[in-house]
Structure formats: structure tokens, C-alpha cells
Amino acid sequence: MARWIAMQRRVRGWDKISMLKHFYGSIAFTILCLGLGSWYGYTSGGSVGAALSVLWICIVLGVLEVSLSFDNAVVNATVLKDMDPVWQRRFLTWGILIAVFGMRVVFPILIVAIAGQLGPVAAVSLALNDPDRYAAIVSEAHIGIMGFGGAFLMLVGLKFFFNAEKEHDWIGLVEAPLRKVAGLDAVEIIVVLLALFGVSTQLAVADAHVFMVSGIMGIVVYFAVQWMGHVLGAPEGAVEGVQRSGLAAFLYLEVLDASFSFDGVIGAFALTTNLVIIALGLGIGAMFVRSITIALVRQGTLGQFRFLEHGAFWAILALASIMFASVLVHIPEAVTGLVGAGLIGLSVWSSVRHNRADRALLEAGDAVALQTGRTSADGHAALADVGKK
């Protein structure tokens, strides 16, 4: 018995080491970014205090990004685990460049260029030389960004629950009825359009127009990626018609990453308007989100926690709803992060309880088999019959 316990401890120790290795790159990247942030703060502010201030903001932004995007990591893992190995590697290499550089640097500049009717060079100059004006332009584009991102994410979440072939439910009282109406044509589109219309009625006419158009574009982009998957002939995976291999899955994940990044980029301006600091801080968070994705896939965590995927998609629906609501009232980023983390935490807790119940059933079945002299399978069947009676 003592030998068996010692072996289990060694196995758990190796599992921890195996899990940690997926974060070595993120830890190294974090050290580099914090070093660059400290150097940038010292050279621009001319004091150790300025360096420490930038260092602290980078750390807070990194934590903010991870808290807002943990559900993104889980959903990425559900797509990635069935993805072609070649495209898996491309997403984990090219994708991180797009996530860190594209979404945290290029995306805000594009927003300013479009909203302010500026050229790319002028937008970069504005970001570096007049950060307050730059932040104001990004904030002015808030309604359009939330409409697009909220509609796209709401479709992602609803597609998971409006699925007649979904194997099991977490919150049965809600999920079972949704599964039953999954056969209705375009039901998820109707829900999203009604949500967009409901929010738009509370906005001024000009803002309502921007919100509706942006939301419809989010719907168009979602189905454009789906359509591309059909055109390319990529096989469908287990989750709700999302294409799992090749270019279509890669593009789907990148658009998904972008939608999750919107609130982080917007929220960052509450801490600083400096584009360099925003890129360093959110880049740290993006790297850790990617490491979490890799760990979930390589460690088989999704299979170990039955309801983790459900929790992630509930968190996506919550985030989409928050994005819609944020055009009407200010919602602190801390609330957004806590809601997502809370739903995922509850799904993990439910999964652990389910696993314990399964183990108890197996042990009881083995006991029945031992007492009656039958096989374990017969013992489990006998126990199940008793449970039914």
C-alpha cells in the first residue's frame, strides 16, 4: 500500500512538471516584456519610479488579459484538439504573432485610421505622439466594436447549445430545451438579431445604426468562415459545425481570438493610453492564454473534466451579453473577468463531482461483483438495475 501511494505521488509530480513545461515560453516572454517595459519607463520618465509604474501596469494588463480570455483558451482547445497537426503548429506559431502583434498593435491603429479617417502612418504618429487623442478615437469606436464582437461570440456560444447531437448537458434545465429546438432553421441567427435590435432601441439613431450594421457584419463574418470550410471541403468536427482542419479552422480561431481581444484592448485604455505599454502588457496575457490552450490539448484536460467545455461556452455567451450591455452602461473589466472565471470554475467543480460519483459507482459495482462471484461488468449492470428500481 505504501509503495502504491509513493507511486501515485511520483505520477502527480511528473504531471505537474509536464504541465509546467507548456509555460516555459510564456514565462521567458513575460520576463522579456517586463524588462522592456521597465527600460521604456525609465528612458521616457527618467526615474526608477517611472520604470516601476510601467512595470506594474504591464503586470496588471497581463493578468487582465488572462482573466478575460481564459474561456477563449478552452474554446480554442476544443477546436485545436481535432485540428490537422500541420495547422495546429501553424496556429501555435503564426497565430501567436497575429494575436500579440496583430490584435494588440495593428488592430487599435486600424480602428484609429478608419474612425479618424487617417492614413496608417498618421495613425501610428497619433498613437505615439498624442496618446490621449488616440485613446479618445478608440473609445468613440466602442459601439461598433462591441456590436461586431458581441454578435460573433453570441453565435459561437449559441451554436454549441443549439445542437441536437450534443452528448450531455451541464445545466439541464436550460440546455435540454435548447437542444430540442436545435432543428429549427437559423434559430441562433434569429436570437442574435433580436438581441441586436433590442439593444439598438435603447440607443440614439446614429449609434443604433452603427451597432446594427456592426452586429450584422459579425454574423456575416461568422458564416463566411463556415462557408469557407465547406468550400475547402474540410471535415466537420464534434462541435457544432465548426470546421476543424485546415485554413477554415485557422481563420475561425483567429476571428475568435480577435473577438475575445476587443474588451481587453478597450479596457486597457482605462489604465494607460500608451500603445507600447498596452502591447507589452496584453502581449504577456496573450502568450499565457496560448500556453493554457496548449496545456489543455496536450494534457487531455478537456476529457478529464466533463463540463469544462460547457462552462467555457456559457462564459462566451456571458461575455457577448456583457459586450452588448456595455454600449448602454459601463461595466468594469473586473466584472467581465470574474463572470467568465466563475462559470468555468463552477463547471470544473461540477466535473469533479461527476467524476467522484462515477468512481463511487464503479467501486460499488466491483463490490457487487465480488460478493456475487460475477464479473465487474455484470456487477455494474446489477447495480444500475437496483438504481433504476
Predicted confidence (pLDDT) per residue in 49-86, tens digit: 889 998 998 888 888 788 777 777 887 887 787 777 77
Answer whether 108's CB lies under 8 Å from 142's CB.
no
The rounded radius of gyration (Å) of the Cα atoms in the chain is: 24
Grid coordinates representing 114 are 478608419
Residue 138 identity (one-letter amino acid): V
Answer whether 183's CB lies under 8 Å from 173's CB.
no
**Mean pLDDT over the full length of the chain:** 78
Instruction: Assign 236 to helix, strand or coil.
Output: strand
Please list, in sequence order, all residues whose beta carbon lies within 8 angstroms of the beta carbon of residue 223, skipping any fewer than 6 positions away. none
Q: Give the helix, strand, coil percentages of the chain, each rounded to 5.
A: 85, 0, 15
pLDDT higher than threshold 50 for residue 386: no
| Residue whose entry in the numeric block shows the C-alpha cell 467524476 | 355
Q: What is the dihedral of CA 323, 328, 330, 335, to 10 degrees?
A: -40
pLDDT higher than threshold 60 for residue 43: yes
More confident residue, 41 or 267: 41
Please list, in sequence order, all residues whose beta carbon lies within 8 angstroms of the beta carbon of residue 125, skipping any fewer than 6 positions away. none
Instruction: Assign 203 to helix, strand or coil.
Output: coil
Category of 117 on φ-ψ map: left (φ > 0), alpha (ψ -120 to 50) or beta? left
pLDDT higher than threshold 60 for residue 241: no
Answer whether 82's CB lies under 8 Å from 245's CB.
yes
- Rounded percentage of the chain residues whose pLDDT exceeds 70: 81
H or E stretch at 276: helix 275-298
Answer whether 295's CB lies under 8 Å from 23's CB.
yes
- Rounded percentage of the chain residues whose pLDDT exceeds 90: 15
Phi, psi of 326 (to 5 degrees): -70, -15
pLDDT higher than threshold 60 for residue 11: no
Partner residues linked to 236 by β-bridges = 243
Band the pLDDT of 176: cuts 50, 70, 90: confident
Domain boundaries defined on the chain: 2-388
Task: Determine the average pLDDT of the residues in 167-175.
Answer: 86
- pLDDT (tens digit, 9 = 90+) per residue, 321-372? 998 999 999 888 778 778 888 888 898 899 888 888 877 776 665 555 555 5
Nearest partner of 74 among 345, 360, 371, judged by Cα: 345
More confident residue, 14 or 252: 252
DSSP secondary-structure letter at 374? Answer: -
H or E stretch at 315: helix 308-325
Band the pLDDT of 204: cuts 50, 70, 90: very high
Could you list the beta-strand ranges (E) of the chain: none
Report d(CA 273, CA 258) in Å as an integer.
20
Partner residues linked to 243 by β-bridges = 236
Report d(CA 178, CA 310) in Å as an integer.
13
pLDDT higher than threshold 80 for residue 169: yes
Task: Determine the average pLDDT of the residues in 98-118.
Answer: 75
